[in-house]
Amino acid sequence: MTIVRALTARQLFLIVLGLAVLSALPLVLSPSLVNAAIKMLIAALFALAFSLAMGQAGMLSFGHSAYYGIGAFAALHLMKAVEGHVLAWPTPLVPLVGATAGLLAGIVFGWFATRRTGVYFAMVTLALAELLFTLAPSWNSVFGGESGISTMRMPSWAFSFGDDTHVYYLTLAWVALSAWCLWAFRGTPMGRLAVAMRENEHRVRFLGFNTHLARTLVFAISAMFTGVAGALLAIANEASNYTIFSTQASANVVLQTFIGGAGTFLGPALGAAVMTFFARVTSDLTRSWLLYQGLIFVLVMLFVPDGFGGLISMHVRRLHGAAIKHLVLPYLLCVAVGLLIIAGVVFMIESAYVLLSDAYVAQRRGAGGAVVPYHLLGWKFDPLSPLTWSLSAVPLFIGGALLPFTKRQTELAWSRALDESEQ
């Protein structure tokens, strides 16, 4: 973890550029994609908040969905009160109540959880989230039972919030603000203490700090921003139910953080945004998308342990000047080989799905047990013809054969690039 430096001019420029691009998105995207962008921003904030506890303080929390859900329900109750004219509260400030609820829950749960470390800490957080998950459906007054709580956004500050675009800008504002807070936290003494505790807790304790209190506070701050993310989700969906507390949701944020790279600041946000979008898009394209998602998880854990953010960070840190030009060709080769292998695997899996499905079995029965051609992507394939299987085998074979060569070329290119960077 690099020591937090003041932002360079170049970094500042990139941040402003990024914010400008994000602000301009609703002007060019369709409403459905704006909705997707809202969800991606929320997932990114969740991952950033989680990464505060995980990446910075080394606390693997496996039940962070508890604070996400608590933030969401707190926001929903407030919105219901506003809707019923019991209370007057501007809609843009609703995430504040999510933050408060998350902070309180984080203090209470965190105080218990941080009495243990490592794997035990993870188990405690898991148990707390599971308890909430199993109790919530029965606690109707707070969690609305199985169908949850539903409400409507009320207009505030000259915005009607009936349009997703308004919700997008609200979400963007809060996510940017929270991200800035989280970034700034890294430079504070508390933030540095969190890193110290991750590296060597005993030593920190010997220096006189109350590590239990410190870890509770860091955890509570992480829970606070998670609560903000939950509140933003409640505003976007105008409803939530107890399934927000599921282990699935907790596990998803951990996965997204690591795919993005737990060691960098923006890595988790990147991982969250990409995986959210991936799930949304592929779930409509293919029924086997969970299999692809599982494969991605396994492959990233095996071959890209620092995550994609870590990968990018490595390039930025170690390559200077025009050294990157050495890598262009090998990377193009990598992409080509990757596409070949992906094409082969996808074809194989999709074909297997069709061939093993009930509809195809019915077709075969209709043809008296004969092996009939199957449909995929609008084309017909004969399962027994070698041509069909070569469509899968050939790309895989070529890709696989080129893999060692590609690896070697990339390594060579890297050493050349590093040499040049050193000069």
Residues 43-72 contacting other proteins, CB under 8 A: 54, 60, 62
Query: What values do phi and psi take at 244, rounded to 5?
Result: -65, -20
Cα separation, 379 vs 200, in Å, equals: 60
Q: Where are the beta strands (DSSP E) in 311-421?
A: 374-376, 379-381
Q: Which of 187, 255, 184, 182 shows the shortest CA–CA distance to 221?
A: 182
Among 172-180, 201-209, 249-257, 394-402, the segment contacting other proteins (CB under 8 A) = 249-257
Q: Cα–Cα distance between 49 and 106 in angstroms, integer?
A: 12
Residues linked to residue 156 through DSSP beta bridges, in sequence order: 159
CA 254 to CA 422: how far, in whole Å? 36
359 touches other proteins (CB under 8 A): yes
Which residues between 19 and 48 bind other proteins (CB under 8 A)? 30-32, 35-36, 39
Per rule CB under 8 A, count of chain residues that contact other proteins = 89
Phi, psi of 321 (to 5 degrees): 65, -140
CB 382, min distance to other proteins, A: 18
Residues 319-338 that bind other proteins (CB under 8 A): none
Residue from 50, 258, 265, 381 that binds other proteins (CB under 8 A)? 258
Rule CB under 8 A: choose which of 83, 201, 238, 420 binds other proteins: 238
The DSSP 8-state label assigned to residue 324 in this structure reads: G
Question: Please, which residue, 257 or 406, has the CB nearer to other proteins?
Answer: 257
Q: Does 240 contact other proteins by CB under 8 A?
A: yes
Please name the residue ranges forming H helices in 114-188.
Answer: 118-135, 140-143, 164-187
Tell me the window of 18-26, 77-85, 118-126, 399-407 that interacts with other proteins (CB under 8 A). Answer: 118-126
Question: Which element (helix H / strand E) includes 79?
Answer: helix 65-83
The answer to the question of residue 275 lying near other proteins (CB under 8 A) is no
Which residues inside 208-227 make contact with other proteins, applying CB under 8 A?
Answer: none
Residue selected from 192, 311, 314, 350 as contacting other proteins according to rule CB under 8 A: 350
Q: 152 — alpha (psi -120 to 50), left (phi > 0) or beta?
A: beta
Chain centroid to CA 116: how far? 26
Q: Does 358 bind other proteins (CB under 8 A)?
A: yes
Decide if residue 363 touches other proteins (CB under 8 A). yes
Q: Which of residues 123-152 bind other proteins (CB under 8 A)?
A: 123-124, 126-128, 130-131, 134-135, 137-142, 145-148, 150, 152
| φ, ψ dihedrals at 335, nearest 5° | -60, -45
> Under rule CB under 8 A, which residues in 386-415 are in contact with other proteins?
none
By CB under 8 A, which span of 5-13, 181-189, 292-300, 412-420 interacts with other proteins?
A: 292-300
Residue with token string 């690039």:
417
Report the site for other proteins in 300-319 (rule: CB under 8 A). 301-302, 305
